[in-house]
Structure 1
Amino acid sequence: MGDAARQTFCMHPNDVDRKRIERALDARARYRYVSPQVRAEEGGYRIQSPCCSRNVDQSGGVIDIAQLEYVSELQTWRLYRKDHARHEWQLYAAFSALSELLQFLNQDPDRIFWQ
């Protein structure tokens, strides 16, 4: 595959990976009774969900869960968490594959994302 074809293939966001992320979120360990949304953003995706715990939004409104960014130069996926108190995204980890990132996000052992 030539460089131009490879670059086109790796462009994010795209509908194939957005659907892949949506399907993968069905296997999450926490807050399975809400329906998260995956939105395309420049260079990646944003995951949002109703705040059923009321820990972040007392009214249960839609909150940011995670931001996923593909860095083509590094062939790396970056996972960001939302600091809701400061209203800013913070880099949490980097993964070599989207599947690894999604597996980690679905488990969320420290409740960093699904609060």
Structure 2
Amino acid sequence: MQSAVLMTAVRPFAHPNDLDRKRIERALKARKRYRYVTPSVATTIGGYRIESPCCSRNIDRDGGVVDVALLLHDPEGARWQLFRKDHGRGLWQLDSTHERLPAALERLNADPERTFWQ
């Protein structure tokens, strides 16, 4: 007698993907702060991590690369979660949740309280 094997379908993550990574890279060119440095967008499970050289020397006195933001896509709620880095504690903190990626990027680029681009 053969035993039946139950295969469960594993739904792949929609993010990260190259298309949205490029969209984020292009959108970052419109940021209000630290326009003289070139940030990079790294992929992570479920989203993207934005990092940049620290020209202000507020976070890294040597001007090294620091985390700026983390964008995660929630597939269940179809929303984007935008996190900022608490560099003192080394933890990501939820900043805001957005229905669409452009809205999250607009918040990140404006950064009125200087919580991302420090």
Q: Could you state the TM-score of these two structures normalised by the residue count of structure 2? A: 0.89
Equivalent residue, structure 2, for 1:65: 68
**Corresponding residue to 2:87 among 81, 84, 93:** 84
Alignment-mate amino acid for residue 97 of structure 2:
A
Report 1:3-14 matches (<5 A).
Answer: 11-14=14-17
Report 1:16-35 matches (<5 A).
Answer: 16-35=19-38
Equivalent residue, structure 2, for 1:47: 50
Aligned Cα RMSD in Å? 1.4
Aligned residues: 109
Task: Flag structure 1 segments of 5+ consecutive residues without an equivalent.
Answer: 1-6
Equivalent residue, structure 2, for 1:99: 102
Alignment-mate amino acid for residue 28 of structure 2:
L
2:47 aligned with 1:38, yes or no? Answer: no
More helix by share: 1
Equivalent residue, structure 1, for 2:117: 114
Alignment-mate amino acid for residue 76 of structure 1:
R
Q: Could you state the TM-score of these two structures normalised by the residue count of structure 1? A: 0.91
In structure 1, distance between residues paired with 2:48 and 2:101: 11
Shift of residue 100, structure 1, vs aligned partner: 0.3
Shift of residue 92, structure 1, vs aligned partner: 1.0
Which has the higher Rg, Structure 1 or Structure 2?
2
Task: Flag structure 2 segments of 5+ consecutive residues without an equivalent.
Answer: 1-10
